[in-house]
Amino acid sequence: MTIEQIYTSCLAQGSYYIVSKNEAIIIDPLREIEPYLERAKRDGVKIKYILETHFHADFVSGHLDLAKASGAIIVYGPNANASFECYLAKDGEILNLGDISIKVLHTPGHTLESTCYLLFDEQGNENALFSGDTLFIGDVGRPDLAQKSASMTMEQLAGMLYHSLREKIMVLPDNVTVYPAHGAGSACGKNMSKETVSTIGEQKLNNYALRLDMGEAEFIKEVTDGLLPPPGYFGMNVAMNKKGYDSISEVMKRGLTPLSLDAFDLLHSNENVLILDTRTATDFSKGFIKGSLFVGLEGQFAPWVGALIPNVNQEIVIITEEGKEEETVKRLARVGYDHVQGYLDGGIQTWIQSGRELETINRIDANQLKDQLSSNPIVIDVRKPGEFEAEHLACAKSIPLDFIFEHLQDFPNNQQFILHCAGGYRSIIAASVLKSKGFNDFVDVIGGYAAISKTSAERTSFVCQSKK
């Protein structure tokens, strides 16, 4: 038996490849299916099942393309209402794979169809739990994502999750390995650990939501408290996972169309087409096409695209580093942005060589910021609320990047301000948004709060630390 976790950091997502004898199972596959097919071919095994833990909101699964290419059966748990052929397993049903077996555990709460899969090894021992978004390391799945489609409140779903955890999962042996669908950075929970593997015993000791002395009312209050609004694209990804989508090969072919400058200009002139620049924050700040949205590939690319472009049907043209075109289109497709119309052939250099104008972002380093603090400048911190509450410049105002479009009126439009995040990635995203909306009188701090905290500014009255 082989269990392999295939973790994709930019999505904070874990897929699983399990083999026993000459058969394989894939759990929660990503959109691009070639790696799974190639691995199965190399191992000389047949993909028998594609197990889905639920209808994902934060990415588009590769279940449909993978089933078509491999002949595998798509499996969901009870209550899954899909528009394509799949097998709805019953709670407690056993699926066989080579010398091992998988038990279906219906665990509603995150969504009504949420299902975990319990693996029994060759000796019949309970060995591993593939917990989807029901149980994370250090957290549990948020219960507010399915409330509209389920016609239930998040409190009602949280109550279902309480019973699912205590009646299906916490009763398992402490040595059962837990393999979740997500880790830190995912918007599907609020307190996830950076660790991507644990055990039932460790989680009963360390996961706040699995405390043995916690009653249902306290659990509901804990898991629903402090939830930030989900990204706008989540509902659209759920619909794609339920109803189907264009094949990844079609999406890649369309998106990898090289555009001449004339063809790019034609699309650029269409106000319904978005220019997405995926170069590094440093390169973007030195020169970019007016109106471009920056989301760099080097960061959590897909989640930030999803947070800032709420409509997955948005038509997009891309500016990338040369050689990064395929990666960009693929990573957009992972979260359902299938309408990339192509990329500027030759990238930003083509634009520069044509003599076209570029916009820039003014930047200062952390020491320059420190020298300016005595004049009480306007400083805007675009980190998440929890990061800001843990530690921040006393003169800073919190406007999280996640909600920048809802708070554009809170940015000064007649006075210079200073922008920073944790490391310089998110603040350049914010800067690109602000530039596109007509804000020009601001500067960005290179290196963000990580650099600021290394200066003497951290030891002045301008820094405050809230209780942890």
Q: 154-164 vs 216-224: helix axis angle to the nearest 10?
A: 120
Pairing of β 340-344 and β 417-420 = unpaired
Within this chain, do residues 253 and 206 fall inside the same structural domain, yes or no? no
Q: What is the pLDDT of residue 231?
A: 83
The position carrying tokens 């002045």 is 460
Within this chain, do residues 65 and 195 fall inside the same structural domain, yes or no? yes
Within this chain, do residues 50 and 159 fall inside the same structural domain, yes or no? yes
In 3D, which of 207, 177, 203, 202 has the Cα closest to residue 190?
207
Q: What is the pLDDT of residue 374?
A: 84
Report residue 90's pLDDT band, with 50, 70 and 90 as the boundaries.
Answer: very high
Residue 231 lies in a domain: no
List pLDDT tens digits, range 242-291: 999 999 999 999 999 999 999 999 998 998 999 999 999 999 999 999 99
Q: What is the pLDDT of residue 457?
A: 60
Lowest-pLDDT range, 78-92, 186-200, 245-259, 270-284?
Answer: 186-200
Enclosing domain of residue 420: 363-464
Q: What is the pLDDT of residue 150?
A: 67
First to last CA, the chain: 44
Amino acid making up residue 104: V
Inter-residue contact 343 to 320 (CB < 8 Å) = yes
Residue 237 lies in a domain: no
Q: How many domains does the chain have?
A: 3
Residue 111 lies in a domain: yes
Q: Which of 290, 319, 353 is at the close of a domain?
A: 353
CATH of the domain at 89: 3.60.15.10
Other beta carbons within 10 Å of 338: 23
Within this chain, do residues 389 and 311 fall inside the same structural domain, yes or no? no
In 3D, which of 455, 410, 403 has the Cα closest to residue 429?
403
Percent of the chain with pLDDT over 70: 97
Residue 229 lies in a domain: no
Within this chain, do residues 15 and 160 fall inside the same structural domain, yes or no? yes
Inter-residue contact 284 to 444 (CB < 8 Å) = no
Within this chain, do residues 46 and 114 fall inside the same structural domain, yes or no? yes
Q: Is the pLDDT of residue 180 over 50?
A: yes
Q: What is the pLDDT of residue 429?
A: 98
Within this chain, do residues 281 and 135 fall inside the same structural domain, yes or no? no
In 3D, which of 404, 402, 407 has the Cα closest to residue 433?
404
3-class DSSP string for 53-71: CCCCCCCCCCHHHHHHHHC
Inter-residue contact 148 to 175 (CB < 8 Å) = no
Q: Which of 193, 224, 255 is at the close of a domain?
A: 224
Within this chain, do residues 374 and 349 fall inside the same structural domain, yes or no? no
Report residue 300's pLDDT band, with 50, 70 and 90 as the boundaries.
Answer: confident
Q: Which of 353, 385, 407 is at the close of a domain?
A: 353
List pLDDT tens digits, range 216-235: 999 999 999 988 888 889 99
Q: 34-43 vs 63-70: helix axis angle to the nearest 10?
A: 40
Q: What is the pLDDT of residue 302?
A: 87
Within this chain, do residues 307 and 407 fall inside the same structural domain, yes or no? no
Q: What is the pLDDT of residue 386?
A: 83
Residue 234 lies in a domain: no
Within this chain, do residues 180 and 308 fall inside the same structural domain, yes or no? no
Report residue 191's pLDDT band, with 50, 70 and 90 as the boundaries.
Answer: confident
Report residue 210's pLDDT band, with 50, 70 and 90 as the boundaries.
Answer: very high
Percent of the chain with pLDDT over 90: 82
Within this chain, do residues 250 and 211 fall inside the same structural domain, yes or no? no
Residue 358 lies in a domain: no
Amino acid making up residue 430: A
3-class DSSP string for the chain: CEEEEEEECCCCEEEEEEEECCEEEEECCCCCCHHHHHHHHHHCCEEEEEECCCCCCCCCCCHHHHHHHHCCEEEECCCCCCCCCCEECCCCCEEEECCEEEEEEECCCCCCCCEEEEEECCCCCEEEEEEECCECCCCECCCCCCHHHHCCCHHHHHHHHHHHHHHHHCCCCCCCEEEECECCCCCCCCCCCCCCCEEHHHHHHHCHHHCCCCCHHHHHHHHHCCCCCCCCCHHHHHHHHHHCCCCHHHHHHHHCCEECHHHHHHHHCCCCEEEEECCCHHHHHHCECCCCEECCCCCCHHHHHHHHCCCCCCEEEEECCCCCHHHHHHHHHHCCCCCEEEEECCCHHHHHHCCCCCECCCEECHHHHHHHHHHCCEEEECCCHHHHHHCEECCEEECCHHHHHHHHHHCCCCCCEEEECCCCCHHHHHHHHHHHCCCCCEEEECCHHHHHCCCHHHHCCCEECCCC
Q: Is the pLDDT of residue 460 over 70?
A: no
Within this chain, do residues 126 and 59 fall inside the same structural domain, yes or no? yes
Q: What is the pLDDT of residue 10?
A: 83
- What is the reported pTM? 0.90
Residue 230 lies in a domain: no
The position carrying tokens 């799949």 is 86
CA–CA distances in Å: residue 252 to residues 35, 324, 332, 371: 15, 13, 10, 49
CATH of the domain at 267: 3.40.250.10
Residue 239 lies in a domain: no
